[in-house]
């Protein structure tokens, strides 16, 4: 089955060999998004709320570039540098998924750079 690479305008440069999103057979896979602006600079140093907002905006941009919306997301993988940030991350997360939130998990993990506090990867069913 063919796949389509989704690379929304204004995406930061990738930190490794990956695409922001890949669509195949109506399913969109969104890479782990980090709190970076379009130049690749950190957004919200030391502020998990600001970083969560940036990350979820990045996820949203990939989903929308694929023709979907946040309500099409069926699963999120959430990685936190420090589980002490769990409640603060959830405050912002609820703004993006106020009703019928997708399935998810959240784990503590070392992220690619020490200044990153949160990372989210998603799966969405955008349609066929």
Structure tokens at 126: 């955008």
How many C-beta neighbours within 10 Å does residue 43 have?
A: 18
Catalytic residue among 42, 50, 106, 123: 106
Cα pseudo-dihedral 77, 96, 5, 7, rounded to 10: -120
The per-residue pLDDT string of the chain (128 residues; one tens digit each, 9 = 90 and over) reads 789 999 999 888 888 889 999 999 999 999 999 999 999 999 999 999 999 999 999 999 999 999 999 999 999 999 999 999 999 999 999 999 999 999 999 999 999 999 999 999 999 999 75
pTM, whole model, 2 decimals? 0.95
Q: Is 106 a catalytic residue?
A: yes
- 3-state DSSP: the chain helix, strand, coil percent, rounded to 5? 25, 30, 45
> Which residue is listed with tokens 């907002």?
53
**What domains sit in the chain, N to C, each tagged with a CATH number?**
4-125 (3.30.1330.40)
């Amino acid at each position: 089955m063919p796949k389509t690479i989704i690379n929304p305008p204004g995406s930061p440069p990738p930190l490794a060999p990956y695409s922001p999103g890949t669509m195949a057979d109506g399913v969109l896979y969104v890479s782990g998004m980090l709190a970076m602006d379009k130049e690749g600079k950190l957004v919200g140093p030391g502020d998990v709320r600001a970083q969560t907002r940036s990350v979820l905006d990045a996820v949203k941009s990939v989903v929308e570039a694929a023709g979907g919306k946040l309500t099409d997301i069926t699963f999120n993988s959430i990685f936190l540098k420090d589980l002490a940030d769990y409640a603060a991350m959830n405050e912002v997360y609820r703004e993006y998924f106020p009703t019928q939130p997708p399935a998810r998990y959240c784990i503590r993990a070392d992220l690619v750079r020490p200044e990153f506090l949160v990372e989210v990867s998603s799966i969405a069913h955008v349609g066929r």
